[in-house]
Amino acid sequence: MKIKSIFTLICSIILTLCLYSVAFAANAKTEAVSFLQQATKNTVEAQNAAYSINLSMTGPLADCSIDLNGSYAYPVLTSGDMSLALDLWIIDTTFEAQTQYYSELEGNVYKQYFKTQADPKGAAANVSPKINSDQWYVQSVSLPENFVADYAERTQKSINDVADDVKNIFMYDVDDKTAKVYVTYKKPILDEEKLNEALNLTNLNEKEMAQVAAVSQKLEENPKLKAALLKPRELTYEITVDRENMVITSLKSDLSPLVQQFGSEVLSSISDKELSITDTPDNGATVRNIIKNYLERSKFTMDINLSKFNKATVQPVPQEVKDSAVEPPKPVEKIGEADEETNLTVAENVLETVANE
């Protein structure tokens, strides 16, 4: 009887500790979410800030790095520069480019001005159209009339809904000045409401309407692609918060799992013939296998740093840039025609070698 009483007491203590642990974990999550919400709110409500963004890809066939440095002012005024380095060592091709850019909102038209100096080598040197390094280009996109008001409202809603998207979260390395937040979100790349709004814009010119119609038709013809866009996906960030000013100063993420999963689903939604370079299903299957293996063996990362909140200077678009800017040349639909017996064979051999290492 005495043993039974001791056993009952031990079970009661264990149950109490479990309940306490669950309550503590739930409270810790609530506090962490609240902390992140406040830091996010202060960050997005800043009238201006300086930023640096690095997007990196490393893989068995190529390496690529994109670096952006500049300043931002609410709602969409930006100025800065971007560097791109691409090394396709499998076909002995490199591409380096330095781009200076400005962006602004004129009424409901978003305009981005840029000038690029490029240094292509190898096969990339023969790619057209050519970019004139002395020429400023401008790209324009019509936005809804109430874009700014809706943007502020949506941002606030996103901040309020942070808890709904958080799967896991915890804080660490906390001191008087900084704290790090490790958080995993689960949400779709594009939710259905935003997708429907994008496909039903009415204040577009004829060219823009045609592009939207083409995207809409593509999604209707390919339900797997639409499902891939709308499927909730997990993405984890390491976020650094300046506790003195309660703003986010750093955000890092390994995008590899997201890119690999999404890329695989997109590939499965495209037929062999559509993927084929030589318009034969066998070639399409080969291309699919190369892309899939490449994604699985590649690493994709993102590193964002923010500073100078409400103190950054954003350069407006110079008038001479506006006066001289022209539309950029149309992109090439196919960069050359790959030789199935050379380029693709080399790629397969490289992938097979990597897989066997």
Q: What is the pLDDT along the chain (357 residues), one digit of tens a residue?
A: 445 455 555 555 455 444 334 433 445 688 888 899 899 889 988 999 999 999 999 988 788 999 999 999 988 889 999 999 988 876 778 888 999 999 998 888 889 999 999 887 765 666 556 678 889 999 888 877 777 777 777 777 777 777 788 888 988 888 889 999 999 988 887 777 777 776 666 666 677 677 777 877 888 888 888 888 888 999 999 999 999 999 999 999 999 999 999 988 888 888 888 887 776 666 778 888 888 888 888 999 999 999 999 999 888 999 999 999 998 887 544 333 444 444 444 444 444 444 444
Long-range contacts of residues 353-357, Cβ cutoff 8 Å, at least 24 apart:
354/60, 354/297, 355/293, 355/297
Distances (CA, A) of 168 to 38, 57, 237: 18, 26, 11
The pTM (predicted TM-score) of the whole model is 0.78
Type of residue found at 315: Q
Indicate the length of the chain as a whole number: 357
- The pair of structure tokens assigned to 148 is 């700014």
Type of residue found at 154: R
- The pair of structure tokens assigned to 344 is 């693709």
Q: Scanning the structure block, which residue is given the tokens 């399409």?
A: 284
3-class DSSP state of 160: helix
Report which of 238, 299, 228 is spatially closest to residue 264, judged by C-alpha positions.
228
